[in-house]
Amino acid sequence: MRTFCTEGPVNRKENYFVPRTDLIAMGMKKVEQWRYFTIFAPRQSGKTTYFQFLVEAISQKETNDLPIWISFESLGKVDPAYFLRALHERLDLELKVWENELAVPEGIAPFQNIDDIAGRIREFCIVQKKNLVMVIDEVEGLKSEETLNAFLHMIRSVYHKKEQYRLRSVILTGVSNITGILQDTASPFNIADQIDVPYFTREEVFDLLGQHEAETGQHFEADVKEGIFEQTLGQPGLVNALARDLVEKKCPDGELIDPQSLYHTLDDFTEYYINKNISNIIAKAKLYPHIMEEILFGEAVPFKVTHEEIGILYANGVIDRNEEGDCYIPIPLYKKALYHHFKPKTNGEKEHFKSPIETYKKYIDEKGLLDVTKLMRRYNDYVRDRGNVIFSQGKASEGVYHYNIDAFFSTYAEFAGAKCFVETPVGGGRVDLLLLQHGKTDIIEVKRYDADLYEKSQGQLKTYLDRSGLSEGHLVMFSEYHDQESYEKVEMDNKILHLWVVPVKRKLPSGGMG
């Protein structure tokens, strides 16, 4: 039985996989045209698997092309002599895979200097009657700028005589250094010759999950499939990791995989598991805490790829540019993990959420479950007392409001054996806060007040209720413009909407300190 691949390139016999047929054809066409080009893809986006499939496709064609895949990963800051030895060893090791395809059992002669590389490759190709297609992965693994520049200039010198040197195509991939390569107008790696490796489409994610269903008989509910795509945006590493956790840990006996299982998997990935994809994103984000806190909890940050910090965060798949031209975190699962990492400290605020002498049972219903309406009335009291302190930094962002109400509800949920989830897939959308307790689900949408958005958000909440089969939900609007809180209970097409306006600032009494 095949499995979801979470380590290294895909093995077609052992793993479910997405063939990326169109992308392979695009790469094949460039190789056939003797093009030198780059691959742009954030980390863990499946580019190594793409190379693997591309090399296989080239080798299966009846041509005299010899595809070689090597990686500069872990080379570090090395001197030219070490680089030449390492490059030769990696090429030699890869050529052993193709021994049966070679005319004579002769490899590439050792390199004396960087300029010697092209000549040695030419000699080898003439003897073997082959054209070389060289795929170089993890270019940024070579940390010596001088050595890297010398190597790239050597390739550039070959570019206009590539047929003579029989170096049919050179394909580079990386993250940070690729940007510099593309900015060099004299480089053969022109930006017009670039292939972007996108994340999986919705259809590709569904196809991947469908392979498991067909082979095992275990099925994902429709909302789970939508949720996996929505939370990952099709990022290959995350899609496979979530799916594997669901089938091996949450539902190991072949049972139907339901949304509650997905909620717990998402929670584990953001709070408990050490996942390499998420760990890498957090590690990159931690390098620039100020700008990350602004993006998560502050005012809008304009997206400028020429800004060093923004450019690096973008190249590593942490942020992207939204429709308004600002920075945002496009993958919800990454945003959750970063939210948990960067969220402001409560600094004793929990005692204001819930006094040690107060029991959560004051806020339960007749079934013994937390009553969101009662908790919201308690939350209004809390903001009335603490709003001038916790929202004191001018005009707080929506992210700060999200964090505060999440922290409040999570405090009571912890005592009641319930669980809060932020930005969670429900009914084909993503709700801001979901309270899950003993089979009961409550959804809470959180917004900054705007009169037009107030009406639009009611319709959005109603849609979530319709699609999820729930009968009621809550909309909380934080307002810098209202002096008094308000609550309205509205019935809309047999659904009950609880509408709350929460003022975040109060006029202080004369001489008051707040």
501: β partners? 477, 486
The residue behind tokens 């505060």 is 404
- Return d(Cα 492, Cα 472) in angstroms, integer: 10
474: β partners? 444, 498
* DSSP notation for 227-266: HHHHHHTT-HHHHHHHHHHIIIIISTTS--B-HHHHHHHH
- Do residues 168 and 132 lie in contact, with contact meaning Cβ atoms separated by under 8 Å? yes
pLDDT value of residue 512: 46
Q: Give the list of residues 6+ apart from residue 388 with CB closer than 8 angstroms, or none.
A: 505, 506, 508, 514
pTM of the full structure? 0.81
- Do residues 335 and 329 lie in contact, with contact meaning Cβ atoms separated by under 8 Å? yes
- Do residues 291 and 300 lie in contact, with contact meaning Cβ atoms separated by under 8 Å? no
CA dihedral 334, 336, 340, 342 (to 10 degrees): 60
- Return d(Cα 221, Cα 230) in angstroms, integer: 14
> Which structure tokens are listed for 207?
């196809």
> Which structure tokens are listed for 224?
């789970």
196: β partners? 40
Nearest of 449, 499, 510 to residue 473 by alpha carbon: 499
Q: Give the list of residues 6+ apart from residue 153 with CB closer than 8 angstroms, or none.
A: none
> Which structure tokens are listed for 110?
């050792």
CATH 1.10.10.10 fits 21-196, yes or no: no
Q: What is the pLDDT along the chain (514 residues), one digit of tens a residue?
A: 899 999 878 999 999 999 999 999 999 999 999 998 888 777 667 888 888 899 999 988 878 999 999 999 889 898 999 999 999 999 999 888 888 878 777 789 999 999 999 999 999 999 999 999 999 988 888 888 888 888 888 888 888 899 999 999 999 886 554 555 555 555 555 544 788 888 999 999 999 999 999 999 999 999 999 999 999 999 999 999 999 999 999 999 999 999 999 999 998 998 888 888 899 999 999 999 999 998 988 778 999 988 999 988 988 889 999 998 999 999 989 998 998 888 766 556 788 999 899 999 999 999 999 999 999 999 999 999 888 888 865 556 777 888 899 999 999 999 999 988 888 877 667 888 999 998 889 999 999 999 999 999 999 999 999 988 899 999 999 998 998 999 999 999 999 999 999 998 766 554 444 4
Distance of CA 220 to the CA centre of its chain: 22
488: β partners? 499
- Return d(Cα 246, Cα 266) in angstroms, integer: 10
169: β partners? 133
111 DSSP 8-state letter: P
The count of C-alpha atoms lying within 13 angstroms of the C-alpha of 186, restricted to the half-sphere facing its C-beta, is: 8
- Return d(Cα 318, Cα 337) in angstroms, integer: 11
- Do residues 230 and 201 lie in contact, with contact meaning Cβ atoms separated by under 8 Å? no
> Which structure tokens are listed for 385?
């007392």
Q: Is the torsion defined by CA of 280, 284, 285, 287 positive or negative?
A: positive
- Other CB atoms within 10 A of residue 255 CB: 12
For 21-83, what is the HEC assignment? Answer: HHHHHHHHHHHHCCCCEEEECCCCCCHHHHHHHHHHHHHHCCCCEEEEEEECCCCECCCHHHH
